[in-house]
Amino acid sequence: MQPAPASITLNEVFAELYDDLNRAYWAASSLAAKDQIKGVLEIVADAITTIDATDLSTKNAAYASLGTEVASVNKQLQKLQADINGLISDIKTATAVVSDITQAVSLAAKMFP
């Protein structure tokens, strides 16, 4: 994971998470682990699409809807964060995923209190 610049965006956080989840998928130790990671990869990809389509500078209905979607994604991320060490044996990748999840949840909490 790259050091976080002061003005990192939600899109950048989720894109980094997506990349590390993709690495985690390939490092997964079983088909069940791959399936769990793949499910999270899909919801993160959907969230990135929504983030790209939403004007984050206006706090309108689309912004509120994005906040709801991100909250849902964060629940899945927190579950994966708790499970990741049992899913993959590559410590560097597991650490990167945990760090990315922490950053995504933290930034989302600031943006969508």
Q: Domains of the chain: which residue ranges?
A: 30-111
Q: What is the pLDDT of residue 1?
A: 46
3-20 CB burial, b ≥16 within 10 A, e <16:
eeeeeeebebbbbbbbeb
Cα distance between residue 50 and residue 61, in whole Å: 13
pLDDT in tens, 59-82: 888 888 888 999 999 999 999 999
Span 99-108, mean pLDDT? Answer: 93
Q: Are 34 and 54 in contact (CB under 8 A)?
A: no
- pTM equals 0.85
Residue whose pair of structure tokens reads 């939600």 in the numeric block: 10
